[in-house]
Amino acid sequence: MNADTETKQAAAVKLTKRAVDALTYTGTGNGACYAWDPEVKGFGVRVYPGGRKAFLVAYRVGNRKRFLTLGTFGKDLTADEARKLAIVTLGDVVRGTDPAQVREQERQGETVRDLCEAYMDRHGNAKKSGSEDQRRIDRYILPKWASLKARTIARPDVEALHRKIGKTAPYEANRVLALLSKMFELARRWGFVPEGQANPARDIDRFQETKRDRWVTPDELPRLAQAINEEPNESARAALWLYLLTGCRKSELLKAQWADVDWTRAELRLPDTKAGRVHYIPLSPPAVALLRDLPRADDNPFILPGKRPGPTWST
């Protein structure tokens, strides 16, 4: 039996407390049994074989019949409360809203955990710093808010988290704040929070960060050179000298391959830089000499090979 047939065959009775109390199950084979209010079109109550009674509204969206349960009689709602809620809900339908769809959206895909997963899948994993985003999500965000709805997170919540992290790690607190700001900016685009909802990570004062520069003094250079030369690991020793001779970042040197070295032009090609573009590093004569002295493995393309954990080399 389809929904339209059920509503036509169901009883019509004004749904007062007395009337709902008197209703009994009259269906067959556990089939649906309804009573519909003649004054508020679409407002009804379903009676279950076990005796439970639940208020609901029925309405159409296009050619589709929709049912929305409002609550259980005597437990969630009185008859008068259900009538008032039905009038409001049916009014939303007239104004173009589908209340059942709104409820479905509220029940799924809107927790902070869901937002974090969507962020990493759609945005974070494509970033060079994606692993750091995931680490901060796992360490700071999920333990605090995983099961909360994203739309319920407010500025005081973010301020409290930022302040707590900042007591021992102000720099890290600022990075988490920046991550949350980006995450909630995207949450608006993706429908996790209402379009007009303010970003809860905005307008929060960041902790002051002091840039720490440490330069090797002329007196320290001989001791530094001696310490590097005493390093027993050849790759580590070469890496330390190349850091000093080229100014490259650690991640850039560890990814550098022999194919990236242009011996004729004395350049090192860095195809995967932090800026996201190819960069060429000039190689000084000492850097070229160091590279020429390094051994190469036939099955390893990297200038600074790491340990072999499995069937392929890693950097």
CA of 225: how far to CAs of 218, 260, 277, in Å? 11, 27, 32
Does residue 146 lie within any of the structural domains?
yes
Specify if 314 maps to a domain.
Answer: no
Place of tokens 């000093």: 244
Q: Where in the sequence is the domain holding 45, given as residue range(s)?
A: 3-99
pLDDT of residue 165: 96
Residue 69: inside a domain, yes or no?
A: yes
pLDDT score of 113 more than 80: yes
Q: What Cα–Cα distance (Å) separates residue 120 from each residue in 124, 272, 304?
A: 4, 21, 30
Statement to judge: residues 119 and 75 lie in one domain: no
Please indicate, yes or no, whether residues 9 and 95 belong to a single structural domain of this protein: yes
pLDDT digits (tens, 9 = 90+) for 168-184: 999 999 999 999 999 99
Which pLDDT belongs to residue 8? 42
Does the residue 196 lie in any domain? no
The Cα 84–Cα 40 span in angstroms is 10
Question: How many whole angstroms separate alpha carbon 59 and alpha carbon 66?
Answer: 5
The pLDDT value recorded for residue 102 is 79
18, 93: one domain: yes
What's the predicted TM-score (pTM) here?
0.44
How many structural domains is the chain composed of?
3
Phi, psi (deg, nearest 5) at residue 53: -130, 130
Q: What angle do CA 17, 32, 10 make, to 5 degrees?
A: 60
Among 2-11, 75-84, 245-254, the minimum mean pLDDT is found in: 2-11
The answer to whether residue 213 sits within a structural domain is no
| 3-state SS, one letter per residue, for 205-232 | CCCCCCCCCCCCCCCCHHHHHHHHHCCC
Q: Is the pLDDT of residue 196 over 80?
A: yes
Residue 124 lies inside a defined structural domain of this protein: yes
* 275, pLDDT greater than 70: no
**Residue found under tokens 């709602």:** 77
Report the CATH number at residue 30.
3.30.160.390
Report how far Cα 46 is from the mean position of its chain's Cα atoms.
39
Residue 270's φ and ψ, nearest 5 degrees, are -110, 100
pLDDT in tens, 44-79: 999 999 899 999 999 998 888 999 999 999 899 999
Report yes or no: 256 and 303 within 8 Å, Cβ to Cβ.
yes
Last residue within a domain, chosen from 137, 168, 190: 190
pLDDT of residue 2: 43
pLDDT for 127: 84
What is the pLDDT confidence band of residue 4, given thresholds at 50, 70 and 90? very low
Q: Which of 20-34, 188-202, 215-229, 288-302 has the lowest mean pLDDT?
A: 215-229
Percentage of residues in the chain having pLDDT higher than 90: 49
Answer yes or no: do 11 and 73 share one domain. yes
* Averaged pLDDT of the chain: 86
**Residue 107's pLDDT is what?**
62
* % the chain with pLDDT above 70: 89
